[in-house]
Amino acid sequence: MFSALVIFSLSASAAQPDLTERALRLDQNIQALKDEIIEFNREAQAVENETLVPDHLRLSVYLSVGVGGLLLTEAAITVDDKAPEIYRYDETDARALLDDAAVQRVLITTVMPGPHRIRMTVNGNFANAKPGDAPITQSYEAIFDKDDQEAELEFRLTRSSRFGGDLKLTMKQWKVKP
Amino acid sequence: MMRRALVSLLLAAPTLAFAADVYVPGSPEDPHVREAQYLLRDHRTLSAAIELRLSDKKNDALRMPEAYQWRLAESYLAFGLRDRAEEIYRSLAGSSSDKDRIASAQLDVAEFDYQRGYLAEARATLYKMREVLPESAVVRWQDLLARVLLAESRYGEAADVLTELNNAGNQSSYTRFNLGVALVNDGRTAQGQTVLDRVGRLVPDDLEDLALRDRANTSLGWHFLQNQQGGTAKPIFSRVRVEGPFSNRALLGLGWAELAPQGDRVVKAEVGDDKPDADPFTTFSTLGVLVRPGFLEDDIFKRAGLRAFSLKKASREETDALQRALVPWVELISRDPMDTAVQEAWLAIPFTLDRLGAYTQALQYYEKAVGVLENAHDRMDKALESIKRGRMVETIVRREIDSEAGRDWKLRDLPDAPETYFLQSLLAEHRFQEALKNYRDVRMMSRNLEAWQQRLATVERSASNTDRADMRVDQVIERQRAQWKAPWAGLKIQLHGDEKLSVPGATTPAAPSQPAVTSQLQLSGVPARFNGVREQTSTLHARIGGLREQLAQAGAEQARLLQDMSVAELEGQQRQIERYLVEARFALARLYDRQIKGELDAQ
């Protein structure tokens, strides 16, 4: 009677070669479709960008976090007198932002060439914060000059020195090498 | 006015603009590459791949900097585009000096192949890596190659791969378990038993270790049972936890171990990497403690409704063994009757009672067993119907319908559907999970295209909006000039000075009657077609139609595959229940027959 359990038996897939073959054939087909979807998105996104946020008007704002264990809850960006754009984080995307090499594009919009005021405010908590600990809040405001190329600004939240110190939010402007 | 506004802006702002930092497209500093890294970490694999493809203006990924290529290959593989990823990794292997990273990437591709069922491809990749394997990749390489070989039933090769480098100390407990399985299946039974026994004694650090320990002990216990060594199997089964994924099977085995031939004492084999055996006892919640006489609550027989019975048939020694076998089985039948081990216990108890001569109680238990098994059969029918309606799969994919996690997606909890319970082991298998991931991805891509229909409509409206401010032609020309490069840029023209100067009059002057050479200017041809925003969006709309049709077909085929896998699994389990039912009914009929003939004594 105790044949019900054969521990070292082959997996069920070995007994169903047709299912295995079908799975592989379908996987190949879906890989080809995935490839096409990526290329479609690339082309569609390029047309959308060209029309709605053309290079000469485009402003891209990025945010990076260089403080271990700091999980953002919210980032708010205000350009000139426009209403602030607010991004709210869940734990997954807050953790994703802790990767050293990562930046998050928090805003893509259009602005006319010339000087503009931008303000970034971030809120968050340390992963090991105790209930009742005050949330972390940092702000930075600056003027940047928009020319006829895409403007790319990165806000970075770091500590004031490599060995610790207060938190600080800074801004850097990027330009693609011609 | 403008000047005044700017001055007030400058006065009010705390920080002024400063010089920009320059980045090379595709370099580690490129915000697009870094944004892709963020998207990858956020499990948005499709978005990461699109972000990178969009920033490759020349549409030639293999000519982009290494940082870009690494990120793109990672995005492709995470999204399940194995061939694209491998093409880039192959190119990087020729250019990158980071051998550890190359090896790790190749292992990622092989892992993908293994999980998706491309076993021959995974094996080929791994064997090819062997000659140039950096030290950092050895343990992972061994573990993965062994799993691939085990899946192909190449047990001997798997065991050799895990033992030839003599690095047992670096291997994980999972790898050691696989080695034990490989050795046993390859006929090196004694060595395999020793390795499994050691895994079964490991001192656990977490729940995963405990589950692995239980698995090793259950596997080894049943192995001894199948080899008629019940005496050796008993203490092994006793190490399994009371509650856990293997506890029911171990309880069933523990009962059979009492009835099986006890066998000879097993001598441990040397496997060349021996460490002192750990004490297998690490917790009180093991089966050994549960079934210890006198330890269990009151009287387990009373709990099962078994009255004292007179013994007519078996010898004293056999009677003791039969009574000891009843202890774990009585515990087992108090558990979920949909578990096959519990179902078998429902048959094992009346079988034992019959052997003990407790015929009336055997008859009652067979009748209860038939009821339990018929109920399980009905539930299985309902589960099969539910599978055919696709409810379980639909519930699973709807939970995170827009998730782009690709191959990183994990089934976190099981839906409340009739078939879920029966499919637990199938749901945990790679072949089902990978098919499920593909099905999810197809659904997610369909929704991506659906969203694009709206987005393209917005683009069209914006492009045809006549309320926009007029563009200044001089600025448009200026921008185009800034982006334009002369086709002859970089071309060097060198002039050679002739060594001899001709005598004046020696060259033939042009005839005065000949007309002066003038360049002919012509109007260029009219472009065959204009490719403005309207034309581009129109083409994209047409592509959406074609792609959605293909995705719908792929989705339907994938759903059918999942359904067929589930049905095959359930039908296998249902056949098992039917076999048990036949056994129970046959045993019942036999007992009734003997009762009618007056062969059974009253209890």
Residue of chain A whose Cα is closest to the Cα of B249: A5
Task: Say yes or no to pLDDT of B301 above 70.
Answer: no
How high is the pLDDT of residue A6?
A: 34
Is B193 a member of any domain? no
How high is the pLDDT of residue B465?
A: 82
How high is the pLDDT of residue B169?
A: 87
Give the A:B interface size as CB pairs under 8 Å. 249
Chain-chain contact of B37 with A16 (C-beta, under 8 angstroms): no
For chain A, what is the radius of gyration of the CA atoms? Answer: 24
Residues of chain B in contact with residue A29, where contact means CB-CB under 8 angstroms, are: 554, 557
Q: Compute φ and ψ for A59, nearest 5 degrees.
A: -125, 120
How high is the pLDDT of residue A5?
A: 33
CB distance from B544 to chain A under 8 Å?
Answer: yes
Q: What is the pLDDT of residues A37-87, one digit of tens each?
A: 999 999 999 999 999 999 899 999 999 999 999 999 999 999 999 999 999
Residues of chain B in contact with residue A24, where contact means CB-CB under 8 angstroms, are: 116-118
CB distance from B438 to chain A under 8 Å?
Answer: yes
Is residue B396 within 8 Å of residue B411, measured between CB atoms?
Answer: yes
Residue B271 sits at the vertex; the CA angle it makes with B269 and B273, to the nearest 5 degrees, is: 135
- Residue A172 has its nearest CB partner, among B21, B249, B426, at B21
Q: What is the pLDDT of residues B326-348, one digit of tens each?
A: 889 999 999 988 888 999 999 99
- Residue A31 has its nearest CB partner, among B18, B81, B455, at B81
Chain-chain contact of A4 with B533 (C-beta, under 8 angstroms): no
CA A84 to chain centre: 19
Average of per-residue pLDDT across B305-325: 67
Is B365 a member of any domain? yes
Residue of chain B whose Cα is closest to the Cα of A63: B35
Task: Say yes or no to pLDDT of B417 above 70.
Answer: no
Measured distance CA(B65)–CA(A16) in Å, rounded: 45
A35 pLDDT band (50/70/90 cuts)?
A: very high
Chain-chain contact of B43 with A172 (C-beta, under 8 angstroms): no
Chain-chain contact of A20 with B117 (C-beta, under 8 angstroms): yes
Strands of A114-126's sheet in order across = A85-88, A70-79, A114-126, A136-146
Q: Give the pair of three-digit tokens for residue B194.
A: 């020793």
Chain-chain contact of B34 with A39 (C-beta, under 8 angstroms): no
Q: Give the pair of three-digit tokens for residue B546.
A: 């074609």
How high is the pLDDT of residue B415?
A: 67
Of B197-201, B289-293, B442-446, B450-454, which range is least confident?
B289-293
Half-sphere exposure of B526 (CA within 13 A, CB side): 2
CA B123 to chain centre: 18
Measured distance CA(B481)–CA(A126) in Å, rounded: 50
| Interface test with chain A among B41, B72, B553, by most A beta carbons within 10 Å | B41
- Provide, rounded to the nearest whole percent, the portion of chain B with pLDDT above 70: 83
B543 pLDDT band (50/70/90 cuts)?
A: very high
Q: Does the model's pTM come out above 0.90?
A: no
Chain-chain contact of B181 with A92 (C-beta, under 8 angstroms): no
Measured distance CA(B391)–CA(B410) in Å, rounded: 19
Residue of chain A whose Cα is closest to the Cα of B48: A38
Task: Say yes or no to pLDDT of B578 above 90.
Answer: yes
Min Cα distance B459 → chain A (Å) is 6
How high is the pLDDT of residue B137?
A: 95
How high is the pLDDT of residue B475?
A: 80
Average of per-residue pLDDT across A76-102: 95
B7 pLDDT band (50/70/90 cuts)?
A: very low
Task: Say yes or no to pLDDT of A3 above 50.
Answer: no
Pick the CATH number of A55-174 from 2.40.30, 3.30.2320, 2.60.40, 1.10.540: 2.60.40
Mean confidence (pLDDT) of chain A = 89
Q: Spell out the domain ranges in chain A.
A: 1-52, 55-174
- Residue B54 has its nearest CB partner, among A45, A60, A62, at A45
How high is the pLDDT of residue B281?
A: 58
CA B428 to chain centre: 9
Of A2-6, B144-148, B233-237, B380-384, which range is least confident?
A2-6
CB atoms under 10 Å from CB of A32, counted, come to: 14
Average of per-residue pLDDT across B494-503: 78
- Provide, rounded to the nearest whole percent, the portion of chain A with pLDDT above 70: 90
How high is the pLDDT of residue A61?
A: 98
- Residue A174 has its nearest CB partner, among B23, B540, B583, at B23
How high is the pLDDT of residue B406?
A: 66
- Provide, rounded to the nearest whole percent, the portion of chain A with pLDDT above 90: 76
Min Cα distance A59 → chain B (Å) is 13
Is residue A171 within 8 Å of residue A120, measured between CB atoms?
Answer: yes
How high is the pLDDT of residue B272?
A: 57
Q: Spell out the alpha helix ranges (H) of B96-188.
A: 99-116, 119-129, 138-151, 155-163, 173-185
Q: What does DSSP assign to residue A130?
A: P
Is B478 a member of any domain? no
B471 pLDDT band (50/70/90 cuts)?
A: confident
| Higher-pLDDT residue of B234, B499 | B234
Residues of chain A in contact with residue B454, where contact means CB-CB under 8 angstroms, are: none
Min Cα distance B13 → chain A (Å) is 6
How high is the pLDDT of residue B360?
A: 86
Q: Compute φ and ψ for A144, nearest 5 degrees.
A: -125, 160
Residue for token pair 């271990």: A68
Helix axes B66-78, B99-116, angle to 10 degrees: 20
How high is the pLDDT of residue B441?
A: 93
| Higher-pLDDT residue of B22, A163 | B22
Q: Compute φ and ψ for B297, nearest 5 degrees.
A: -55, 130
Domain encompassing residue B358: 333-462+532-603
- Residue A92 has its nearest CB partner, among B43, B53, B151, at B43
Task: Say yes or no to pLDDT of A117 above 50.
Answer: yes
| Higher-pLDDT residue of A148, B517 | A148
Residue for token pair 């080929």: B124
Is residue B46 within 8 Å of residue B80, measured between CB atoms?
Answer: no
Measured distance CA(B405)–CA(B43) in Å, rounded: 5
How high is the pLDDT of residue B304?
A: 52
How high is the pLDDT of residue B206?
A: 87
Residues of chain B in contact with residue A43, where contact means CB-CB under 8 angstroms, are: 536, 540
How high is the pLDDT of residue A81?
A: 93
Is B89 a member of any domain? no
Is B586 a member of any domain? yes
Report for A22-36, B224-238, B302-316, B394-408: range of highest mean pLDDT = A22-36
Task: Say yes or no to pLDDT of B533 above 60.
Answer: yes
Q: Give the pair of three-digit tokens for residue B579.
A: 């076999």
Q: How many domains does chain B have?
A: 1
CB distance from A2 to chain B under 8 Å?
Answer: yes
Chain-chain contact of B50 with A140 (C-beta, under 8 angstroms): no
B59: left (phi over 0), alpha (psi -120 to 50) or beta: left
Q: Compute φ and ψ for A62, nearest 5 degrees.
A: -115, 155
CB distance from A152 to chain B under 8 Å?
Answer: yes
How high is the pLDDT of residue B212?
A: 94
How high is the pLDDT of residue A4?
A: 34
Average of per-residue pLDDT across B300-315: 53
Chain-chain contact of A4 with B576 (C-beta, under 8 angstroms): yes
